[in-house]
Amino acid sequence: MTTQRVRGCCPHDCPDTCATITEVRDGRAVAFYADPEHPITQGWLCAKVRPYLERVYSPDRLLYPLRRVGPKGSGRWERISWDEAITTIAERWQAIIAEYGAAAILPYSYSGTLGLLQTAIVDARLWNRMGASGLDRTICCAAAHAAVYATLGARRSPDYDDLRHSRLIILWGHNPASAGPHAMPFIRQAQRAGAYVVVIDPRRTATARSADLHLAIRPATDGALALGMMNVIFAENLHDEAWLEAHTVGWRELRARAAEYDPERVATITGLPVSTIIELARRYATTKPAIIKTADGIQRHQNGGQTFRALLCLPAVVGQYGVRGGGLAYSTGGYATWDAEAVGHASECPPVPRTVNMNRLGAALTGEVTDPPIMSLFVYCANPLASSPNAGLIEQGLRREDLFTVVHELFMTDTARYADIVLPATSQLEHLDLHRAYGHRYLTLNQPAIAPLGEAKSNWDVTRLLAQAMGYSEPWLHESAEEAIRGVLDASRARNPFLAGITFERLQQEGTIRLTLSPENEVPFADGHFPTPSGKVELWSATMAAQGLDPLPHYEPPAEYVAHPPEEGWLTLISAAAHHFVSSSMANQPSLRAKEGEPTIEINPVDAAARNIRDGDVVVVSNQRGQCHLRAVVSTNVPPGVVSAVKGHWPSLSPDGRNVNWTTPDALADLGGQSTFHSNRVQVWPSRI
Ligand SMILES: Nc1nc2c(c(=O)[nH]1)N[C@H]1C(S)=C(S)[C@@H](COP(=O)(O)OP(=O)(O)OC[C@H]3O[C@@H](n4cnc5c(=O)[nH]c(N)nc54)[C@H](O)[C@@H]3O)O[C@H]1N2
Ligand SMILES: Nc1nc2c(c(=O)[nH]1)N[C@H]1C(S)=C(S)[C@@H](COP(=O)(O)OP(=O)(O)OC[C@H]3O[C@@H](n4cnc5c(=O)[nH]c(N)nc54)[C@H](O)[C@@H]3O)O[C@H]1N2
Ligand code: SF4
Ligand SMILES: [Mo]
């Protein structure tokens, strides 16, 4: 029997976008492994995705459309045909449109897959054509994006292998050992060659354990630390004045702002010793190349935008942008930008009637959004009941008898359980897509390796069926998957030099292709040009001033921290990435659940003793929004005042049917409408169950 090898890539929300190979025999995938030749993947996959065929061939895969027959959430279903499912949806939508207008229909999606077709195109075309409510996709990285665009003008970062050139690496609010593991070998290599690695994270993560220095900063105080470092650097004349003069706007204003953050004040805010702050500043200013590598966790605070702005200013102060091994590594997502019109055809559609912030889903479903209210929710590539904030309120919304909910999924998630119609989705092995990465600068084509399981259909195929049933005849709603991808790639290439020479044919042959980087832009911003309005690094941002925002970075504590002080027993709950899941994806896979263990909360011995909590006790974690039960792990991995419970556990696989998001805030951050998961204060007590 012949074995076919099909090239693809991991679709999950992870910066590494690993290149993969699937071996297929007789129509069945028999092996799945990393492409040994990809320079970043380097022949290995993470613990989550190595057993991927367990996910693809899981007995729990949804294989047929289902219609609810019991009360909402009861889990009673009957199998229906695709024809019936699509007709039912289209009829309900036509009726809703006739009565309320299309704005009453809300698509809800995020990062189940990151493909151009199954995500970007599907997120836009049908909904634009329909005039449905727009979704502000702000759950993950909106504050950082706003900060980056205001400061640098584009999301550009080096590849991981450039870390080998760094002499100082500050991993700031970032846990790559779990959340972007392919950076780790390069960090190790730099460390072996003498680089000094600092981790700034309230938790002692796996990444922190392997660093030369771990600073367990108080949550949400990083903006103050960054400004305190600038204070020392300016005061000791360690800044790069020539670079600041040539390449920045507003460095003197920034210096004046930083003067407010003397090390003593910053020590009081951050909980770090004065000497540590001064030493870190000196080390950062005098060790070159120095890179700050950060990610998304740090911005999930109410002050996340200004915090990120402060981080972005630091490399400018010491003249490290444009230097190989220096600068700031956040995201490479700004290179392979897709042509927005080709993706969404918005100019041919009615204007988006309104946008709903995805972090406010519960509120939106229960009265915050009116005129018209949301009468239908179409969820795909997302599991809001597990992953979105203030989930108790979302559950209340999903229970609404008058809400028509459709969920397109691979598995019966907690969210899908509340649907009126459930549609089965294909896995990455069963559909075509094109992927850019946010951690490196390669494009990868994912070729389908096997036929869809059961009656599963891809997001794009569902879009096409719905478009047809709704009577939308635009050709861009009926293209084949390949035509849709080619169309966007060709239109984008025509405008974007980073895509020069990258064609669909080449992708078919080569699988993965490095973006086209000239010697001047191989190192981000090496040409000295920043695509901001001034062409410089905007330390003082006119764009932000025009929006009524502080044009300089500043520190302000989250309102929830002020309202719920530690003296009254409140603890800060951080809910960061789990090692064995990607958000809630994979968190139903038995082998990975076994490795990750049951849902726990880490608590410092001091806080545990004060509450009479012993290691292994079940505790109630609660606040004004809700509660969940978790098993306590008493550990110095978290400092006093901070507790940690990973995100991603499925509520239905948790002790009381709830997870940590029953407590997390749905308040929005200072920039971009960003989520604020970690600006969360809770009470923790022993439970009687
Ligand atoms: N294994 C795994 N990998 C993942 C994911 C996953 O769920 N599991 N999720 C993916 C997604 S969606 C994303 S966005 C990325 C996120 O990638 P990261 O941002 O690296 O991951 P997080 O765990 O969200 O946050 C990083 C760290 O920030 C710390 N942190 C929280 N608040 C603060 C603070 O105020 N200051 C400082 N200095 N640190 C703070 C947390 O303790 C955590 O260790 O990872 C992706 N990769
Ligand atoms: N407490 C807490 N919660 C958090 C965070 C945090 O830091 N703390 N981080 C947040 C972050 S950074 C993010 S990005 C969000 C992620 O939140 P979501 O985007 O909701 O991600 P998941 O929970 O992984 O759910 C994705 C779902 O998409 C499905 N899926 C996968 N591929 C496909 C497909 O091709 N088609 C369809 N129709 N479905 C598919 C998967 O089976 C999965 O159930 O979570 C957020 N939640
Ligand atoms: S989750 Fe990340 S590290 Fe794991 S296989 Fe996917 S892209 Fe690679
Ligand atoms: Mo994310």
The per-residue pLDDT for range 172-231, each reduced to its tens digit, is: 999 999 999 999 999 999 999 999 999 999 999 999 999 999 999 999 999 999 999 999
Tell whether ligand 3 has an atom less than 6 A from the beta carbon of residue 406.
no
pLDDT of 1 above 80: no
**Ligand 2 atom, smallest distance to 582 CA:** 24
Residues in contact with ligand 1 by the CB-under-6-Å rule are: 13-14, 48, 111, 140, 172-175, 178-179, 200-203, 205, 217, 219-220, 222, 295-298, 301, 574, 576-579, 581-583, 648, 678
| 371-423 pLDDT tens trace | 999 999 999 999 999 999 999 999 999 999 999 999 999 999 999 999 999 99
Measured CA to CA, the distance from residue 530 to residue 508 in angstroms comes to: 34
Closest to 398 in 3D by CA, of 39, 41, 72, 166? 72
102 lines ligand 3 (CB under 6 A): no
For the chain, list the domains and their CATH numbers. 3-56 (2.20.25.90), 66-140+346-514 (3.40.50.740), 143-330 (3.40.228.10), 559-686 (2.40.40.20)
Chain segment 620-636, per-residue pLDDT in tens: 999 999 999 999 999 99
Q: Do the beta carbons of residue 215 and residue 197 sit within 8 Å?
A: no
Q: Which protein residue's CA is at the shortest distance from atom 37 of ligand 2?
A: 381
pLDDT score recorded for residue 636: 98
Q: Which residues contact 24 (CB under 8 A, 6 or more apart)?
A: 3, 4, 5, 6, 30, 449, 450
Which of 410, 422, 458, 465 maximizes ligand 2 atoms within 8 Å of its Cβ, making it the mutation to test the pocket?
410
Ligand approaching nearest to the C-alpha of 177: 1
DSSP string, 151-218: HTSS-----GGGGGG-SEEEEES--HHHHSGGGHHHHHHHHHTT-EEEEE-SS--HHHHTSSEEE-PP
Whether the CB of 222 sits within 6 Å of ligand 2: no
Q: How far is CA 209 from CA 16, 187, 539, 617, 666, in A?
A: 22, 13, 33, 26, 32
Give the position, in ligand 3's atom list, of the atom nearest the Cα of 47. Answer: 4
Ligand 3 atom nearest 14 alpha carbon: 2
CA separation for the pair 540, 342 (Å, rounded): 34
Question: Which ligand 1 atom sits closest to the C-alpha of 176?
Answer: 20
Structure-block tokens of residue 443: 């494009």
Ligand 3 contacts CB of residue 14 (under 6 A): yes
Please name which ligand lies nearest the alpha carbon of 410: 2
Interhelix angle 222-235/251-258, rounded to 10 degrees, is 110
Number of neighbours of residue 491 by Cβ within 10 angstroms: 16
User: Are 363 and 635 spatial neighbours (Cβ–Cβ below 8 Å)?
Assistant: no
Per-residue pLDDT of 81-114, as tens digits, reads 999 999 999 999 999 999 999 999 999 999 999 9
| Ligand 3 in reach of 629 Cβ (< 6 A) | no
- Structure confidence by residue, pLDDT tens digits, 79-89: 999 999 999 99
Q: Please tell me if the CB atom of residue 40 comes closer than 6 angstroms to any atom of ligand 3.
A: no
Percent of the chain with pLDDT over 70: 100
Model confidence pLDDT, tens digit, residues 527-586: 999 999 999 999 999 999 999 999 999 999 999 999 999 999 999 999 999 999 999 999
Ligand nearest to the CA of 406: 2
Number of neighbours of residue 114 by Cβ within 10 angstroms: 23
Give tens-digit pLDDT for 246-255. Answer: 999 999 999 9
Residues 6+ apart with CB under 8 A from 545: 551
Ligand closest to Cα of 647 equals: 2
Ligand 2 atom 39, closest CA = 381
| Gap from CA of 302 to ligand 2 centroid (Å) | 21
Going from the Cα of 331 to the center of ligand 4, the distance in angstroms, rounded, reads 12
Ligand 2, from 583, 625, 646, 666: best to mutate by most atoms within 8 Å of Cβ? 583
Indicate the top mutation candidate among 60, 136, 139, 294 to test ligand 2's pocket, ranked by most ligand atoms within 8 A of CB. 139
Q: Which of 664, 656, 655, 670 is nearest to 682 (CA)?
A: 664
Both tokens of 582, joined, read 């990607």
Report, in angstroms and rounded to the nearest whole number, the Rg of the chain calculated over CA atoms. 25
**What is the position in ligand 3's atom list of the atom closest to the CA of 16?**
7
**Cβ–ligand 3 contact at 49 (below 6 Å):** yes
Per-residue pLDDT of 396-408, as tens digits, reads: 999 999 999 999 9
User: Which residues partner with 321 through β-bridges?
Assistant: none
**Which residue is closest in CA terms to ligand 3's atom 7?**
17
Is any atom of ligand 2 closer than 6 Å to the C-beta of 108?
A: no
**Atom 20 (ligand 2) nearest CA:** 382
689 pLDDT exceeds 90? no
Decide: 181 in ligand 3 pocket, CB within 6 A: yes
* CB contact at 8 A, 647 and 677: yes
- Average pLDDT score, the chain: 98
List pLDDT tens digits, range 457-486: 999 999 999 999 999 999 999 999 999 999
Backbone angles phi, psi at 203, to 5 degrees: -95, 150
36/32 Cα distance (integer angstroms): 12
Three-class DSSP category at 7: strand
Give the pLDDT mean for 340-357.
98
Residue 276 is predicted with a pLDDT of 98
Q: What is the mean pLDDT of residues 590-600?
A: 98
Cα 41 to ligand 4 centre (Å): 20
Mutate to test the pocket of ligand 3, among 9, 13, 18, 42 (most ligand atoms within 8 A of CB): 18
Q: Of all protein residues, whose CA lies closest to atom 42 belonging to ligand 1?
A: 203
Look up tokens 């002050």; give the residue: 303
- N- to C-terminal Cα distance for the chain? 56
Pocket flag, ligand 2, residue 139 (CB < 6 Å): yes
Asked if residue 583 has its Cβ within 6 Å of ligand 2, the reply is yes
| Residue 521 confidence (pLDDT) | 87
Is the distance from CB of 61 to CB of 454 less than 8 angstroms? yes
What are 498-517's pLDDT values in tens digits?
A: 999 999 999 999 999 999 99
